[in-house]
Structure 1
Amino acid sequence: MIALRRLLLALGLVLAIGQPTAALAQSHPVATPIVIGQSYALPSAIMGGMREINVWLPPGYDGRTTRYPVLYVLDGGQAQDFHHISGLAQLGTVNGTTRDVIVIGIASVDRRNELALPTDIAELVARYPTQGHSDQFRRFVAEEVMPFVDGHFRTDGETALMGESLAGLFVVETFLKEPQMFDAYVAVSPSLWWDGGRLAQQAGAHLRDHSNAPRTLILTMGDEGEEAQALMAILTGHLQDHVLPGVTWEFQPRPAESHATIYHGAALDAFRQLYAVPAA
């Protein structure tokens, strides 16, 4: 009897010790990564090194043979704008308000080197000695990034380019100088002040060389001050003066937004416009 009591006591002690262990295990569930896309290190002969390219694919992509339009996002690094712009694509897919689209984030490393056209303004040259190689970055996008995307994913040939601030300046410059690169352009609060506003002032000369191929340009700007507003007025004035029936463009002022707050809402509106679900 004594031996049986000792056995039961020992068994109870083991159970008592085991219960906290089980409770502790339940309070520390195993974490698993949340994967929203894929990141690629793309070797670039043009840029002279590996470049970060991030890809978001619509849900169900792997189970279909469908081809998709592509939105290229500048400043598209994981620590830049890739997540919140791809989130808009995911939202539109889930609630059925926009068409499925592939989002490609092109990370920038030295923004004034890659996104700004060259300037000879001494103050800017001194502050940003590596500035002014947007033409090189445009070649990288056209000759290396876009062929990589078309070669690895089911694209349908419809393309758009989106960027904010200096990336918005790059969007405007690409639209003016290489309009055939993309079907649509979205420039959010573009830094038209760069180089003393020369790009806006010379827009008319570039527009005279445009074909009448169908393209879309969406411009928007927050409360950026008088200089920025004046330069946007110059740019839109040139667009009004050079009527191209194939080109659809609009300027949407957003005076309630600042440079820091404008991008997400403006990008959502651009999604709804560019990728509207066709009426039944």
Structure 2
Amino acid sequence: MRVFLSVLLLLLPALCFGQAAKQNDNQITIGTKETLHSTILKEDREIWVYVPKSSDVHTRYPVMYLLDGKDFFHSVTGMVDEMSSVGKMPKMIVVGILSKDRGSELTPTPSKFSRDGMVDPDFKNSGRGEKFISFIQKELMPFVESRYRTAPYRMFVGHSLGGLTVLHALVNHPALFNSYVAIDPSVWWNGHLITKQAQKAFSQKEYANKNLYYAASNTMEKGMDTVRVIKDTVYANGNVRNHFQFRDILRKSKNLVWTWKYYPEDNHSSVPLPAGYDALRFLFKKYELDKNLNDPTITVEYIKDHYKAVSAMMQYPVLPSAGTVNALGYISLGNKRYDKAYQFFKLNLDNYPADGNLHDSMGDYYVAIGDKKKAMEAFRKALSLEEVAETRRKLKQLEAGQ
């Protein structure tokens, strides 16, 4: 039963939706609220943290730092949970950073003016973005990395002024994150300063192993199209025009892996949801196996080679998924390809020797080939690591038949 459920959950991933949620009576919890004191900002800051559900206490996860966390935490963690459960991307920790004064901390330079050129009271304290980035780098990241099992991969995601902050980090602090997601960023800020900075930075700086997803929404007047908008001068069409201009600058970047996408059916408020999904698909497009698990051509070498490529993409060593390899072992076992089954089970044990379930799986292999002695050894090893009723039952059955 234990094995059956493991394989079933892998092969029918739709059943895994919501695995990160922890149910307690009538409440469902998807994250944890944390508070840290910032010496740099001279105040307490609240963050929301989502951690993937996993029985492996040794697993470390890449981290997404999400601006305007209160607004986007639920939708983004839901996407991350679902997409990782079906193998489209790695499981990730999501850190939602709650805003206190967006006009202050999400603007990199001082300016009193909105896009329309009018003085805006929301920007009376603008220009503290550098201090905010310093808080993330010197206080928030160490806080997260000291409390959670983090891997050395960081993603930065922001919308609107948050998207401006993401671009500011990419242009001025490219080493801080591995990937950047700017959703309808406010590139108009302070006389399009970020566009001017990007034009210089992209032509001079090396952006190898850095990734950007840039999303632009449709805020044009009705009847306007994307061909005419580039030469248009109407104020209402300025945002879309600005995004196309930034795309032209991206084309001159050095080794930056990027994509730019326009969403004709979405406005500034609705674009974060589809853009967030598309960004994750783009950034992790090489993460998923390109073969169905039932494909008989899948070998241990194929799995190893795939995860070498994944490791290169993530820029740290990534072991093959224990669940995927275990499923391949049972598929081979069911097809009576015993040598192949053994190779998959052995690969898992080499990578995760302290996982009792994988020793249990090897026990099933030995039962299938009729080696009761080794099967009992495997089940005993599994039980020494974790007491599981189904494993105990199988061991007793073998002992009774001796």
TM-score range, shorter chain: 0.7 to 0.9
1:201–1:234 Cα contact (<8 Å) kept? no
Match of 2:288 in 1: 278
> CA–CA distance in 2 between the matches of 1:119 and 1:251?
28
Gaps of 5+ in 2: 1-23, 221-236, 290-302, 304-402
Larger strand share, 1 or 2: 1
1:54–1:105 Cα contact (<8 Å) kept? yes
Q: What does 1:50-89 correspond to in 2, within 5 Å?
A: 50-60=44-54, 63-77=56-70, 80-89=71-80
Q: Which amino acid aligns with 1:106?
A: I
In the TM superposition, residue 213 of structure 1 has moved relative to its aligned partner by 3.0
Q: Which amino acid aligns with 1:92?
A: M
Match of 1:267 in 2: 276
Helix, strand or coil at the partner of 2:166: helix
Q: Kindly, what percent of the aligned residue pairs are identical?
A: 29
In the TM superposition, residue 206 of structure 1 has moved relative to its aligned partner by 2.3
Question: Could you tell me which of 102, 108, 120 is aligned with 2:99?
Answer: 108
> CA–CA distance in 1 between the matches of 2:268 and 2:120?
24
Q: Which amino acid aligns with 1:272?
A: R
Question: How many matched pairs?
Answer: 246
Cα deviations by residue, 1:164-194 (Å, 9 ceiling, x for unpaired): 1110111111111111110000001111122
In the TM superposition, residue 141 of structure 1 has moved relative to its aligned partner by 0.5
In the TM superposition, residue 257 of structure 1 has moved relative to its aligned partner by 0.5
In the TM superposition, residue 54 of structure 1 has moved relative to its aligned partner by 1.1
Match of 2:180 in 1: 185
Q: What does 1:1-280 correspond to in 2, within 5 Å?
A: 32-60=26-54, 63-77=56-70, 80-120=71-111, 123-124=118-119, 126-225=121-220, 226-242=237-253, 244-245=254-255, 247-276=256-285, 277-279=287-289
Helix, strand or coil at the partner of 1:42: strand
Cα deviations by residue, 1:207-265 (Å, 9 ceiling, x for unpaired): 244224310011011112321122122222222224x12x1011011111111111011
In the TM superposition, residue 278 of structure 1 has moved relative to its aligned partner by 3.3
Cα deviations by residue, 1:3-37 (Å, 9 ceiling, x for unpaired): xxxxxxxxxxxxxxxxxxxxxxxxxxx96321111
| Runs of 4+ residues over 6 Å off in structure 1 | none
Q: Which amino acid aligns with 1:253?
A: Y
> CA–CA distance in 1 between the matches of 2:112 and 2:97?
28
Gaps of 5+ in 1: 1-29
In the TM superposition, residue 156 of structure 1 has moved relative to its aligned partner by 1.3
Question: Once superposed, what is the RMSD of the aligned Cα atoms?
Answer: 1.9
Q: Which amino acid aligns with 2:60?
A: R
Helix, strand or coil at the partner of 1:232: helix
Match of 1:3 in 2: none
Q: Which amino acid aligns with 2:139?
A: E
Helix, strand or coil at the partner of 1:181: coil
Q: With CA pairs under 8 Å and 6+ residues apart, which has the higher RCO, 1 or 2?
A: 1
